[in-house]
A and B are shown apart, each in its own frame.
Chain A
């Protein structure tokens, strides 16, 4: 699976939008972009995934650049419960069912 690059940490104020960037310049045409997050003392939690088009779900939105070399996870209104480590992972559809490769992720702090 291709590599991703994320900032080590970010801060946000409560109730403000948060944009978490991820660079994946070596992404291939069959790579899906996955986002997971891990709250303190919990296992990782699925957030969202996409291939080419922007995606929305109840938790977040995923904006994918036209060339697919970067993407942004958008939390529309950050809450204190969104403080977590956010992982951006590429997943080749040909590697379905195999393990995920996690990087160090972005630690998001939410200030009240």
Chain B
């Protein structure tokens, strides 16, 4: 399967702990996106990368959140000092947009985070 993969699929942690999620995009997709989704809502944008450069960050991405894509391939999303409000599904997507044309984003299965 050459789709977007995410690891782990589920994570349970205690408040105050740090957690890190990994996303492996479709190979040769230069754009990588992170979204967060809470129950009953559509996904909300967090940040995205063009290759290794982080081009945009949402206001949802507080100082406790950091994302990297060091070699322009896989990406990690770290949450420090987790809070119960961080409990959500974290989704990763990738795409290969072409100038002047619309693009299709391919999503991974998500990482469900539960903060106790």
Could you tell me which A residues sit within 8 Å of B by CB distance? 32, 34, 41-46, 49, 51, 85, 87, 91, 93-94, 96-105
Contacts and interface: CB of A to CB of B under 8 A. Distances in A.
Contact of A98 (B40, B43, B48, B99): B48
Contacts of B16: none
A14 B108 CA distance: 28
Nearest to B58: A99
Interface in B9-67: 31, 33, 35, 40-45, 48, 50, 56
Contacts of A100: 43, 45, 105
A25 to B, nearest CB: 20
Contact of B99 (A44, A46, A96): A96
Nearest to B102: A32
A87 B101 CA distance: 20
